[in-house]
């Protein structure tokens, strides 16, 4: 039996549910946080040299594209 259920909304009417052990859930959260940090750092360096300091547009859903998940 899983210790943690992680739910990801995919569209308005579907979701992915992961039933993970606590160590797996912690590794997943660490990987997500690392990718978000890398993405934010990348965006800030891209915006430094931008035209008039205008930030790059966000994706249509407002979430950063983090790329595929690769477990460590």
Q: Where are the domains of the chain?
A: 1-37
CB atoms within 10 A of CB 12: 6
Instruction: Please state the pTM of the whole predicted model.
Output: 0.54
The string of pLDDT tens digits covering residues 13-58 is: 899 999 999 999 999 999 999 999 999 888 887 766 555 555 555 5
Please report which residue ranges of the chain form alpha helices under DSSP H.
22-48
What separation in angstroms does the CA of 22 have from each of 2, 27, 58, 64, 68? 8, 9, 32, 26, 22
- Residue that wins the pLDDT comparison between 49 and 10: 10
* Cα gap 72→60, rounded to integer Å: 29
Residue 8: predicted pLDDT: 87
């Amino acid at each position: 039996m899983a210790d943690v259920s992680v739910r990801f909304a995919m569209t308005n009417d579907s979701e992915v549910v992961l039933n993970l052990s606590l160590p797996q859930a912690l590794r997943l959260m660490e990987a997500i946080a690392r990718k978000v940090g890398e993405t934010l750092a990348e965006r800030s360096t891209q915006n430094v040299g931008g035209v008039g300091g205008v930030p790059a547009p966000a994706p249509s859903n407002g979430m950063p594209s983090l790329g595929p998940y690769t477990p460590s």
